[in-house]
Structure 1
């Protein structure tokens, strides 16, 4: 009898070891334990915006759920967690370089962090005072890490980042000057490939943290991008051209041609970009900081939301499928007592730069400089003599595929013709 009781207790003890989860010291083991159903979580509805992304990321082994059967889609992600996730998704070979952050020793994510460093995502010199693994990662940190790692995956991505050092970012922080220029290229890579985008409010939110649901979507985008090249992304092509030439005209299907007066073919970069030139009739000077051509019928274009938002009247400037909008940010310095829109038009520098009053509608959220159109405004006074103002001007152009070919002509010396 005693032997039977002893045997029964032995079985009970063995079963208890199997079903009772172990208790770990904080930070020693991975906090997210894969649950039995693997991709079904009691806090994740099929109606959740990231349901498919989360399910896919879990099935691929990138993410794990918690042992209580939840995924916690709204929970923020730490540096440690994101480093581990990147190391799982990346196809980069892990370099054999030894790397040590003293404050990650013995942690559950130690090897994942080491792998993320050796795969080129994390620059060890950035964290000389410690990695601080439990600190919540910001969106701008994520941008820098991903851009760095993709540059290792494909050197062409590293070149794309360099090309966008002077690009135009369709986010509020760009126009307000609150984003570091050193981050232009990395943010441009994220937005141009669709890995990360700005919020509906117009901001990018670099200092914001990111939820597990958002990270699941980001990882799946990165997974796809790492197997492609920069040439596969039309928006990235536009942003690179803007960063290297000041305009996206060639990305939009236009080309430079010789004028009637010369066999030379000068470009926007050569003659116009950030180079002050005199306006006709001694009206003043103008500097064009960038010129963006937008297909009004392509809402997927990276610059479309800036100008074709709810409440904007710029669609009236593009009345047919073959008319493209031309938006140019310029600085005008007046040599007239009253520099008006009519003054700009009669200066005849370029028809595509001759209008600057429009309704931005929801585009106001981006904070770009422009003059709001209002039929009741006094249209005479704009800029006083000796003063200058930076704002967007607009015009239109038809590409060669239209029945009526129009050109962008800058009446500079030499002239720049684009068609």
Structure 2
């Protein structure tokens, strides 16, 4: 089927499927559609927008039904309408979808949103759309249009995803790229309790909000989104430092002292009391707990945040993820802190409501008594986050500028930032 005939079929089916999408509400003199039911304040402007554009309609009684779930077929159809992706005749669609929606769904397939391979047992058009599917569809559509978004999917295959399910369970590793792109572009967000809710269904109000966001960003480039840039860097290197404007220091032979050169390299601490590996080094752009500027920051800092170091202007909070194995029984706080002179290898814990919210494991706040808390057990690797800070605006020659970690000769990580 040609693109033109597919579109003509789509428009004809939209008219024929009025009982499925419903007739639009009554129109006012100004052309604004008035629905008979109450619309939620958080989604009202987006619902009115997508209704005015003809992407979504109300039912035959003039109600929008914002809390009703939206089906796979319904969202496929409205997503295809809002998208300006080109049709790719090489993408084979479904041949046996019952009812009105086969042509609409196949247009979404041709535009790169849906992969028939994801539905080996059939598309089941009336099934409620899950948030996992929604994230994959919108991210895939962006990737189909722009190669850098396609690369963003591969870059985030092993990233830190700032949702509760990352540590608490419920997010498949295969979901990481799609959820990362959805979050990093602002197309989708998590719930107040930190969950992404991948298995939850999608309401019509949520669909309207996401559809309007998609329409507004579909022509942008992947590097236009700061949060996505950070998630891509973390997926590739383990740190978001460069995305936040820091630079790697260089050796005399001009090699850069990158984080990848020390990442997960075992370090034997003083007197062989333990071995540690640094896995991630996450910077938070915030000078106050109520003014966090990056998405990763919201995973670690909230209004109840406190640490051994007072937050200040011109510094970044830093959170380091360790894999730590004690070689002694009942390691106490002083043994831990005195096991190295490298500051970022033995950072203390922190206090934040995000710890429970996201399932983060950290040192007891201000350390406590580690032996009593049984935080370390001899011979057992413990993964946890420590907290410190990085200065960002001192002269490059100042030894307190930036951050530096050396794990062995020739293996160092060093960053600086001149504002």
Q: What's the TM-score bracket when you normalise by the shorter of the two chains?
A: 0.7 to 0.9
Match of 1:222 among 193, 214, 218: 214
In 2: Cα distance, 1:318 partner to 1:239 partner: 26
Residue 67 of structure 1 aligns to a residue in which SS?
Answer: coil
* Residue 294 (structure 1) aligns with: 284
1:408 aligns with 2:403: yes
* Residue 75 (structure 2) aligns with: 82
Residue 239 of structure 1 aligns to a residue in which SS?
Answer: helix
| TM-score with structure 2 setting the length | 0.86
- The residue correspondences of 1:244-393 to structure 2 (distance < 5 A) are 244-258=236-250, 264-270=255-261, 272-297=262-287, 298-314=291-307, 317-348=309-340, 350-373=342-365, 377-381=368-372, 382-393=375-386
In 1: Cα distance, 2:159 partner to 2:110 partner: 30
Residue 263 of structure 2 aligns to a residue in which SS?
Answer: coil
Tell me the CA shift for residue 187 of structure 1. 0.6
1:206 aligns with 2:207: no
1:41 aligns with 2:35: yes
Tell me the CA shift for residue 407 of structure 1. 2.8
Query: Could you say if the C-alpha distance between residues 174 and 402 of structure 1 is closer, same or farther in structure 2, counting changes exceeding 3 Å?
Result: farther
1:162 aligns with 2:157: no
Residue 234 of structure 2 aligns to a residue in which SS?
Answer: helix
Tell me the CA shift for residue 80 of structure 1. 0.6
Provide the aligned C-alpha RMSD in A. Answer: 2.4
- Equivalent pair of 2:355/2:361 in contact (CA under 8 Å): no
Match of 2:132 among 111, 135, 140: 140
In 2: Cα distance, 1:115 partner to 1:192 partner: 26
Residue 357 of structure 1 aligns to a residue in which SS?
Answer: coil
- Equivalent pair of 1:341/1:356 in contact (CA under 8 Å): no
Residue 191 of structure 2 aligns to a residue in which SS?
Answer: coil
Tell me the CA shift for residue 35 of structure 1. 2.7
Query: Could you say if the C-alpha distance between residues 349 and 111 of structure 1 is closer, same or farther in structure 2, counting changes exceeding 3 Å?
Result: farther
- Equivalent pair of 2:323/2:381 in contact (CA under 8 Å): yes
List alignment gaps of at least 5 residues for structure 2.
1-15
* Residue 418 (structure 1) aligns with: 415
- Equivalent pair of 2:19/2:60 in contact (CA under 8 Å): no
Tell me the CA shift for residue 288 of structure 1. 1.6
- Equivalent pair of 1:341/1:354 in contact (CA under 8 Å): no
* Residue 17 (structure 1) aligns with: none
Query: Could you say if the C-alpha distance between residues 98 and 198 of structure 1 is closer, same or farther in structure 2, counting changes exceeding 3 Å?
Result: closer
**CA deviation string 1:192-212 (max 9, x = no partner):** 000011111111110000110
In 1: Cα distance, 2:114 partner to 2:377 partner: 51
- The residue correspondences of 1:15-164 to structure 2 (distance < 5 A) are 29-37=19-27, 39-45=33-39, 48-97=41-90, 99-105=92-98, 107-164=99-156
- Equivalent pair of 1:349/1:410 in contact (CA under 8 Å): no
**CA deviation string 1:290-320 (max 9, x = no partner):** 1101112452311122221132214x63431
- Equivalent pair of 1:348/1:411 in contact (CA under 8 Å): no
Tell me the CA shift for residue 406 of structure 1. 2.1
Residue 58 of structure 2 aligns to a residue in which SS?
Answer: coil
* Aligned residue pairs, count: 388
Match of 2:391 among 394, 398, 419: 398
- Equivalent pair of 2:93/2:106 in contact (CA under 8 Å): yes
In 2: Cα distance, 1:205 partner to 1:121 partner: 20
- Equivalent pair of 1:354/1:395 in contact (CA under 8 Å): no
- Equivalent pair of 1:44/1:51 in contact (CA under 8 Å): no
In 2: Cα distance, 1:262 partner to 1:332 partner: 32
Query: Could you say if the C-alpha distance between residues 399 and 138 of structure 1 is closer, same or farther in structure 2, counting changes exceeding 3 Å?
Result: same
Tell me the CA shift for residue 366 of structure 1. 0.5
In 2: Cα distance, 1:139 partner to 1:123 partner: 16
In 1: Cα distance, 2:275 partner to 2:324 partner: 6
* Residue 12 (structure 1) aligns with: none
Residue 26 of structure 2 aligns to a residue in which SS?
Answer: coil
In 2: Cα distance, 1:250 partner to 1:131 partner: 42
In 1: Cα distance, 2:258 partner to 2:192 partner: 35
